[in-house]
Structure 1
């Protein structure tokens, strides 16, 4: 390997003297702050120039030296700049991928003030190298910035979860508030919106606007917590499918492994159902979510799976983080579902566990330690390519002796007490999930509001123009019907606790790539497209700004599509076509690998699409 300058050696100590800077750290400030909190590079083997990303370092003690170290041949600092007046330094990192095998590589950059190991900050750096032939063909399909897929290089870009707007509770045909109970499934069929709802029994309501709902008479399905699917592939007589999930099939609390479990049902009208076959000889203790996944040509089922203990003794003692999300894949959703039949019965007691089927999501060390995922509400988003959304119900358990504001009911266990909020997880394949932020997607209400303390999201959504409507339920109690400080909040809303709420989300607006007022940029990896115009879902507000440059696969600006030629983008748009001085027609570049470079200032970028119009 050729010799490099001291700035780009394999192990890089940067000892930077900032003695000309005055000022002592304030006690409440960390001595060293770094943003962003990780770097993620994607590069093709055929690229001659490695990608760049910038990292900013803030030093509260500007009288000290500081140091950067890392251990990777393929990572180097391309440029180091600083603003001595505020104690801020910026390092621009470049990847040198020559000779690296395709695959994933990782290292860690460590920053600390000299002589103060307690100030140590670690910055994970991830690199993915792929062969040039796998450049992504986006065609004319819509692409969203829900994760790092379309971010090869960036500066001051953060992926943000965007909570929807609460617009009130569901109403009946007379405009009165109506509580639909637990939302089993939201569907659109033959020009009508449908909600299957209830609990121990399933009911059906219809709507033409998604706000006002009319109960369909004579629909009373005696299948506890059954979940619905409209199957686009089956014959009309079996177009509707229903699956019991929450409770054990049969009566009483005793489970008969020879006959009880999860069953499938089918119908031609969604009202009268015929039982089919037994699908699992176990029970789930929650609602499962079935989908037809057109991307892989199979049915998929997202379900709760309990964490299986290592021994019967551990099972009796309880398991932390016990509720997980798992996934089943099958060619025939009315035939028995695949699972591992070798799991000893002593470890599961007829309950589906993560040993029977593979788990895909759970809480981790970044979550509150006494929490898990109660319900998943997984949704295959139909309006963009490769977008799977999961509106998780994150269950924060109360701890005996610590949460003294709760009055325990007789004969209940503390593990069942707690609050539940809705968060967001995203995926490109329904198997590998990430959580852009650990923040509420729909937040719980105040103690005097109907949607306090416990929320779960309904599965499915309704598109109305450039908006998406979603639905959620609240019991108005903590889990297992306890009330926090009952002497104060028992009658806070005159017993009108709980109900069904509606939220409005921007079309494709669940996650955005955000840049604040300091400005920044985002550049995609090379893509191949078809179409004549580049359209964006973007919001700069009134005082933000965005411009777009098209570059070749090696990052060089393409003539006529430079930033200097781009018409400034100002405003809030769900479908904005980019214009350069030469016009908006990009069809001459169709079929050729290009990078899309976005220069952004106080802007939210949701997605892009190449279209013929």
Structure 2
């Protein structure tokens, strides 16, 4: 089969050769060790989740039209501009029908400012950062940068906004600041819809997706719907979680990872409705609204690769609540939508914290590029063998780190697990160091092109080392 045909299969059958074989087709996609999608066997090695580093406050939610109930943040990186969208409230009482959508900007994702946009008059002045005041649209406003190659320039940004009572409306914008309805009637009216309802263009499925709030056996859960035009959506289908136990998924924040868009990463908030940490007296002393300290929440990590299945390989908390009672109130620790790159080697994740408190703010966490999780082994060493897969490319690249005593070897096997001459462990140059992009050498060569388009397995040997991602290119 020619290479052109292999690439066609990537778009038609992105996960496997349906009707041909069960081999996973990677093409030249980057793969992350965020789940066991490719793993056939582990021996002394494991998948390890890596905790993001707390980098402090990104910005406080301290304007009179923002306040302690500001939440549901979306971060969009657009050609050197980082854009933040979030819910505000004109007064301090939640549910008073004065919800607003606010906007902040940054040139680096680290230092943020709130521009005076002059769009809406708030408290007698247009010197504010408010972009929407329409009560039909401000609940749960969740925008995205439309990567559909056929998207109109005036619809560069799209969003879904609304609630269960109104349904979700489709909006568009040319500049990310001035928004209009795409049509007058709502485009989606099923589900609970009472938190961020996340939509995006999927390059692998060639359609728009939305992940919205639904219920499953009394638990807050997620359903998915698809559309080809962002106006007509098919009937939603409930997402499944494999063997993972049901938990309250308050927000799921599912979006394509920008370096591997075939992987939908979900860094969301799980809600523990009956876990009260603060006493009534502590809550009163801290000035916390009586409705917002009798539960707690934290951040979790899961993935999807298309269809209605999530993979929750890690049940542990991805970002634990911080030190201090202010981190243990209801609806705090809710991650913002989207992970963005903020340096050549670093990504940032943002989390709403101190909910229902006068110190409410958005906080930034950093993590190594691709570093959500890794294939890891300690000093005693370990091994991993993949399932059979087919790649396209001439070389293999790793994003990895080792200790000074550690090392990594990579071996390519045929689909039955036999060593392929020229690509054995004995012929592999030891991989030592800490790099985001390092080619693998066998016999002083990186060339793997003769195996491109054929089914292979990969066997990795690790000692005091971690691999975050790999790709053939």
TM-score, normalised via structure 2 length: 0.78
Residues 551, 595 of structure 1: 8 Å contact kept = yes
Query: Is residue 272 of structure 1 aligned with residue 161 of structure 2?
Result: no
Residues 430-479 of structure 1: CA deviation (Å, up to 9, x unaligned): 52112122111111111166787721111112213222112110134xxx
Query: Is residue 226 of structure 1 aligned with residue 105 of structure 2?
Result: no
Residues 386-444 of structure 1: CA deviation (Å, up to 9, x unaligned): 21111121111226xx97835699xx999993101001111221521121221111111
- The aligned residue for residue 457 of structure 1 is 335
Query: Is residue 244 of structure 1 aligned with residue 161 of structure 2?
Result: yes
Q: Please report how far the alpha carbon of residue 331 of structure 1 lies from its aligned counterpart in structure 2 after TM superposition.
A: 1.8
Residues 161, 436 of structure 1: 8 Å contact kept = no
For 2:361 and 2:158, how far apart are their aligned partners in 1? 26
Q: Which has the larger radius of gyration?
A: 1
For 1:179 and 1:571, how far apart are their aligned partners in 2? 46
Q: Please report how far the alpha carbon of residue 132 of structure 1 lies from its aligned counterpart in structure 2 after TM superposition.
A: 7.0
Residues 181-238 of structure 1: CA deviation (Å, up to 9, x unaligned): 4253211223311111233211221211101112132243112331112223322223
For 1:586 and 1:447, how far apart are their aligned partners in 2? 53
Secondary structure of residue in 1 paired with 2:460: strand
- The aligned residue for residue 60 of structure 1 is none
Secondary structure of residue in 2 paired with 1:425: strand
- The aligned residue for residue 234 of structure 2 is 338
- Tell me: CA distance 1:435–1:166, structure 2 relative to 1, closer, same or farther (3 Å): same
- Tell me: CA distance 1:433–1:513, structure 2 relative to 1, closer, same or farther (3 Å): same
| Residue 440 of structure 1, aligned match among 293, 310, 317 | 317
For 1:266 and 1:215, how far apart are their aligned partners in 2? 22
Q: What does 1:509-548 correspond to in 2, within 5 Å? A: 509-548=371-410
| Residue 393 of structure 1, aligned match among 269, 272, 278 | 269
Q: Please report how far the alpha carbon of residue 332 of structure 1 lies from its aligned counterpart in structure 2 after TM superposition.
A: 2.2
Q: What does 1:115-194 correspond to in 2, within 5 Å? A: 133-171=21-59, 181-194=70-83
Residues 350, 363 of structure 2: 8 Å contact kept = yes
For 2:300 and 2:349, how far apart are their aligned partners in 1? 14
Residues 224, 238 of structure 2: 8 Å contact kept = yes
- Tell me: CA distance 1:526–1:242, structure 2 relative to 1, closer, same or farther (3 Å): closer
Residues 412, 423 of structure 2: 8 Å contact kept = yes
Residues 194, 205 of structure 1: 8 Å contact kept = yes
- The aligned residue for residue 329 of structure 1 is 226
Gap runs ≥5 in structure 2: 1-15, 61-65, 89-98, 118-129
Residues 412, 457 of structure 2: 8 Å contact kept = yes
Query: Is residue 499 of structure 1 aligned with residue 368 of structure 2?
Result: no
Residues 550, 594 of structure 1: 8 Å contact kept = yes
- The aligned residue for residue 464 of structure 2 is 602
Q: RMSD of the alignment, in Å?
A: 3.2
Residues 386, 458 of structure 2: 8 Å contact kept = yes
Q: Identify which of structures 1 and 2 has the higher relative contact order when contacts are C-alpha pairs closer than 8 Å and 6+ apart.
A: 2
Residues 267, 300 of structure 2: 8 Å contact kept = yes
- Tell me: CA distance 1:405–1:523, structure 2 relative to 1, closer, same or farther (3 Å): same
Secondary structure of residue in 1 paired with 2:102: strand
TM-score, normalised via structure 1 length: 0.62
For 2:299 and 2:308, how far apart are their aligned partners in 1? 20
For 1:404 and 1:474, how far apart are their aligned partners in 2? 16
- Tell me: CA distance 1:591–1:262, structure 2 relative to 1, closer, same or farther (3 Å): closer
Residues 460, 470 of structure 1: 8 Å contact kept = yes
- The aligned residue for residue 418 of structure 1 is 295
Gap runs ≥5 in structure 1: 1-127, 173-177, 249-254, 308-318, 340-356, 482-494
Residues 242, 310 of structure 2: 8 Å contact kept = no
- Tell me: CA distance 1:131–1:214, structure 2 relative to 1, closer, same or farther (3 Å): same
- The aligned residue for residue 301 of structure 1 is 210
For 1:380 and 1:404, how far apart are their aligned partners in 2? 37
Residues 452, 474 of structure 1: 8 Å contact kept = no
